[in-house]
């Protein structure tokens, strides 16, 4: 495990949290081909709320306009690059480290991400489930898929159920690339 990952398990400074959220805002806005709203003067919690509202509005518009498949691919690509950056920055090499990093990232987003070393993921609480419909969540979850695919170095991440579909938790699985198994 890399030193930075070990430290991040203990503490992530507020300025770093906001910087990473800004990076997610920019990647998401880029996929929707709109400008990211400013969060500079907002608290971290207010910034997270702004992100939830922004993504909901943009996703609803994309679904209504019939652009959801195109946007889905762009969200995945942009999040994949973020995942690759986290992988390199935090020296992530194993499935266990992917799950640890996933837990750290999602904790910053107020999501209870519980990953197991054999690839199963359970999310019992998600900040965004209060904002998203099932359709919106399905589209925005392309970010999750891209992030964890990039973080794992090319594995495949997919959901089998979601809170926004009326389930008591989200269930997902990451199939790591052969070299991480």
- Can you tell me the mean pLDDT for 43-58? 96
Q: Where are the domains of the chain?
A: 3-180
> What b-and-e string marks burial along 93-112, b requiring 16 or more CB atoms within 10 Å of the CB?
eebebbbbbbbbbbebbebe
Q: Would you give the distance in Å from CA 82 to the centre of its chain?
A: 9
* pLDDT exceeds cutoff 90 at 90: no
Q: What is the pLDDT of residue 164?
A: 97
Q: What is the pLDDT of residue 172?
A: 96
Quote the CA–CA distance of 35 and 52 in Å, as a whole number.
15
- Can you tell me the mean pLDDT for 120-137? 97
Burial of 161 (0-12, 13-18, 19+ CB in 10 A): middle
- Can you tell me the mean pLDDT for 34-47? 94
What average pLDDT does the chain have? 90
* pLDDT exceeds cutoff 60 at 53: yes
* pLDDT exceeds cutoff 50 at 5: no
Fold of 3-180: Muramoyl-pentapeptide Carboxypeptidase; domain 2 (3.30.1380)
From the list 153, 156, 142, the residue with the least C-alpha distance to 79 is: 142
Query: What 3-state class would DSSP assign to 171?
Result: strand
Q: What is the pLDDT of residue 166?
A: 96
From the list 3, 168, 8, 7, the residue with the least C-alpha distance to 103 is: 8
Could you tell me the end-to-end alpha-carbon distance of the chain, in angstroms, rounded to an integer? 16
Main-chain dihedrals φ then ψ at residue 6, nearest 5 degrees: -60, -40
| Token pair for 99 | 């799950």
From the list 105, 110, 53, the residue with the least C-alpha distance to 79 is: 105
- Return the percentage of the chain with pLDDT > 70, whole number: 89
- Can you tell me the mean pLDDT for 105-124? 93
From the list 150, 103, 148, 149, the residue with the least C-alpha distance to 124 is: 103
Q: What is the pLDDT of residue 17?
A: 74
- Can you tell me the mean pLDDT for 40-65? 96
pTM of the model: 0.90
């Amino acid at each position: 495990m890399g030193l930075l990952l070990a430290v991040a398990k203990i503490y992530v400074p507020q300025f770093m949290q906001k910087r990473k959220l800004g990076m997610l805002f920019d990647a998401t806005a880029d996929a929707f081909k709109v400008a990211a709203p400013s969060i500079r003067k907002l608290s971290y919690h207010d910034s997270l709320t702004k992100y939830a509202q922004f993504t909901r509005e943009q996703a609803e518009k994309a679904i209504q306009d019939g652009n959801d498949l195109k946007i889905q691919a762009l969200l995945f690509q942009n999040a994949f690059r973020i995942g690759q950056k986290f992988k390199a920055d935090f020296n992530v090499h194993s499935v266990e480290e992917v799950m640890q990093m996933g837990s750290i990232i999602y904790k910053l987003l107020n999501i209870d991400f519980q990953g197991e070393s054999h690839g199963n993921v359970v999310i019992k609480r998600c900040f965004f489930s209060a904002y998203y419909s099932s359709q919106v969540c399905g589209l925005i979850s392309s970010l999750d898929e891209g992030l964890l695919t990039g973080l794992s170095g090319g594995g495949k991440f997919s959901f089998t159920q979601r809170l926004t579909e009326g389930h008591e938790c989200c269930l997902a699985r990451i199939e790591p690339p052969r070299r991480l198994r």
